[in-house]
Amino acid sequence: MLDIIWSLGAFIVTLGVLVTFHEFGHFWVARKCGVKVLTFSVGFGKAFWQRRGKDGTLYQLSRIPLGGYVRMLDERVDDVSAADRDKSFNSKSVAKRAAIVAAGPVANFILAIVVLWGMFLIGVPSVKPMLGSITPDSVAAQAEWPTPSEVVAVNGTETVDWQQVNLAFAAALGDDTATVTVEDEQQRLHTVTLDISSWRLSEEQIPTFMALGLQPYQPEVFTELAYIQENSPAAAAGLQEGDKILAFDGTLMRDWSQIRDAIMAAPGASVELTIERQQQQLTVPVEIGEREVAGENYGFLGVEPRREAYPEAYRFVQQYGIVDGLVKGAERTWGLMVLSVQMIGKLITGTVSVTNLSGPVAIAEGAGVSASYGLVYFLGFLALISVNLGIINLVPLPMLDGGHLMFLAIESVRKKAVSERVQEISYRIGGALIFALMAIAISNDVLRLLR
């Protein structure tokens, strides 16, 4: 329950910030272009807070935090006096109206740059993209890989951490091949070319590099117990820190993954563990615990294994000064913008399935998880969603900013506005398409929750 409340709170903060900046972009440029703004609202529906500014604008917060709007004086919907006619939106030139409409998405891009700038000023704890193993029978298994090695580039794009590897492979989705450059422990470069012509994203929310079969380096995990949870099945059986599990119900255990799988597959079972304690072998009867995850029962013991320390040489902090941080923020924002456009194109062509769309539930989960990790991770998530919001709003669909810009582009060519009848029909079609996409995204969220 606390997780849900946390995610909901993070979602409201995220959406509130993004919507406020988006609408402020429209508001600020409208005022600069001499348009009278009647209402600035964050949220839809009935307002629960209002204040009339000295500029005559009504500022308000509304009950449904799923968007916002800026209502400008417009002769097509308002009774406008002769004195205010030159302050109406429709009286302005095509260029000024286009600037007002485009200002919302542009504000989202500026927000992303500023947020990423702050993130890089603070410093982002990161790990190098060290390759640990290759999944058998995967796309990556086509080639020979030196392991461990560091992924330094994908299709010529430098990759300093796993996030950039993930984004680089996402950009390559739909291509025939992907060229990966790795550096081995002797600092020798190796180039691997993968045939990804038949590779598609799965419905599972896993990183692209793992879907291809690249597994990040993980420190060795031993079969020795390093932690026993209080009031757990392991504590009830008398297991102790330092015990080494040798066998599970008579089956020899070679590594911790085998032990973990055996425990999870035996919920509520009575088993015997063969352990080594102080150089003596003991047989310990254990009642495996039981817990439900996503509607399925799994066994648990309440223990943690001893792990090898993660190499400090693989850790680093992405931190830059004021100027370099701003440059990096702009570069990262541009990369996210390009990737967002590419993914929309791949969605249209069918390279990416609509089952990969995410809705507000997934966004809320992402906001909650990133916020729980710390401020820098939340800032990175905020920038990503801000860029996506800006790009989606530029899609030339009626009801979106891109649709308004499309009508203005037609008007500039025809020297005549598109008829209100055509616009009305287009808005209905655009609204239906947006509603359908939102319905698919929300249903995808629900299906992921039920899995």
Q: Which two tokens stand for residue 357?
A: 């769309």
Domain contains 16: no
The residue written with tokens 């808005």 in the block is: 427
User: Are both 132 and 188 inside the same structural domain?
Assistant: yes
C-beta separation of 376 from 115 below 8 A: no
Residue 135 lies in a domain: yes
CA atoms within 13 A of residue 47's CA, in its CB half-sphere: 14
CATH number of the domain encompassing residue 141: 2.30.42.10
Q: Which amino acid is at 273?
A: L
On whether both 231 and 300 belong to a single domain, the answer is yes
**Cβ-proximal residues to 351 (8 Å cutoff; 6+ apart), any chain:** 173, 174, 200
Amino acid type, 381: F
Please check whether residue 182 is in contact with residue 189, taking contact to mean a CB–CB distance below 8 angstroms.
yes
User: Within this chain, do residues 183 and 314 fall inside the same structural domain, yes or no?
Assistant: yes
* 184 in any annotated domain: yes
Q: What tokens does 2 get?
A: 């606390």
What is the CA 89 to chain-centroid distance, rounded?
A: 36
Relative orientation angle of helices 375-393 and 2-32, to the nearest 10 degrees: 50
**Which residues, 6 or more positions from 221, have their beta carbon under 8 angstroms from its beta carbon?**
255, 256, 257, 305, 306, 307, 308
Q: What does the alpha-carbon distance between residue 127 and residue 118 come to, in Å, rounded to a whole number?
A: 20
Domain limit, last residue, from 307, 338, 360: 307
Torsion angle, alpha carbons of 254, 255, 257, 258, to 10: 20
- Let me know if 224 is a catalytic residue: no
The token pair that represents 26 in the structure block: 């429209």
The two structure tokens encoding residue 150: 């560091």
Low-confidence ranges of the chain (pLDDT < 70): 1-4, 6-7, 202-205, 294-295, 352-373, 434, 437-451
Which residues constitute the domain of residue 238?
Answer: 221-307
How many angstroms separate the Cα of 340 from the Cα of each of 167, 179, 412? Answer: 10, 21, 28
280 located within any domain: yes
> Whole-prediction pTM value?
0.80
Q: Is residue 404 situated within a structural domain?
A: no
Q: For residue 371, what are the CA distances in angstroms to 113, 117, 374, 382?
A: 19, 18, 5, 10
Alpha helices in 281-400 (DSSP H): 322-349, 360-373, 375-393
**pLDDT at res. 330:** 95
Identify the domain boundary among 278, 307, 336: 307
Do 173 and 244 belong to one domain?
Answer: no
**Both tokens of residue 200?**
């598609």
Same domain, 264 and 134: no
Give the total number of structural domains in the chain: 2
Same domain membership, residue 292 and residue 314: no
Residue 29 lies in a domain: no
Specify the pLDDT at position 169: 87
Same-domain check for residues 229 and 166: no
Last residue of a domain, one of 257, 287, 307: 307
One-letter identity of residue 299:
G
pLDDT of 218 reads 86
Place of tokens 């400090």: 312
93 in a structural domain:
no
72 is a domain residue: no
Q: 23, 150, 183, 365: which one is catalytic? A: 23
**Quick one: 250 and 174 in the same domain?**
no
Same domain, 141 and 196: yes
